[in-house]
């Protein structure tokens, strides 16, 4: 069985969801606020749903805990990529550049 882009269950096949996982260290809170005021509307436009945004976190292994961790769920890997690559998100993202150091990955999951 190949498990790429689908989850096989007893009676049906469903497309796997995708998750943006971002670790962010904010260096300019005022400029970063411009990003956070614009980006959620773009996520929603592409079907994204914020699951975690800030809040308590603790690094149990690996690098030090970032100031913020963000998890966004999308219906598919393709939607997550389309959101990131969209002109709308890149325009919002321009406000993050220079205001925060971010690591962003997209992970396929269930």
pTM: 0.82
What is the per-residue pLDDT for 5? Answer: 56
Of 63, 59, 68, which is closest to residue 27 (Cα–Cα)? Answer: 68
DSSP 28-85: -HHHHHHHHHHHHHHHHHTT-EEEEES-----SSSSPPPSEEEEEEESSHHHHHHHHH
User: Containing H/E element for 94?
Assistant: none
Q: What are the Cα distances from residue 68, in Å, to 54, 88, 101? A: 5, 22, 10
What is the per-residue pLDDT for 8? Answer: 54
What is the per-residue pLDDT for 110? Answer: 86
Strands 13-15 and 49-53 come out as unpaired
Cβ 103 vs Cβ 47: under 8 Å:
no
Which numeric CATH code is attached to 16-109?
3.30.70.100
Going from N- to C-terminal start, the domains of the chain cover 16-109
pLDDT in tens, the chain (110 residues): 444 555 555 545 567 999 999 999 999 999 999 999 999 999 999 999 999 998 888 888 988 888 899 999 999 999 999 999 999 999 999 999 999 999 999 999 98
């Amino acid at each position: 069985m190949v498990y790429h882009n689908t989850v096989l269950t007893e009676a049906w096949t469903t497309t796997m969801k995708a998750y943006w996982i971002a670790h962010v260290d904010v260096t300019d809170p005022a400029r970063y606020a411009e990003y956070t005021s614009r980006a959620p509307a773009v996520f929603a436009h592409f079907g994204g749903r914020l699951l975690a945004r800030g809040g308590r976190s603790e690094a149990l292994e690996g690098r030090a805990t970032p100031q913020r961790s963000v998890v966004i769920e999308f219906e598919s890997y393709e939607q997550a990529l389309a959101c990131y690559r969209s002109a709308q998100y890149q325009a919002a993202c321009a406000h993050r550049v220079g205001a925060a150091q971010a690591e962003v990955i997209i992970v396929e999951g269930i």
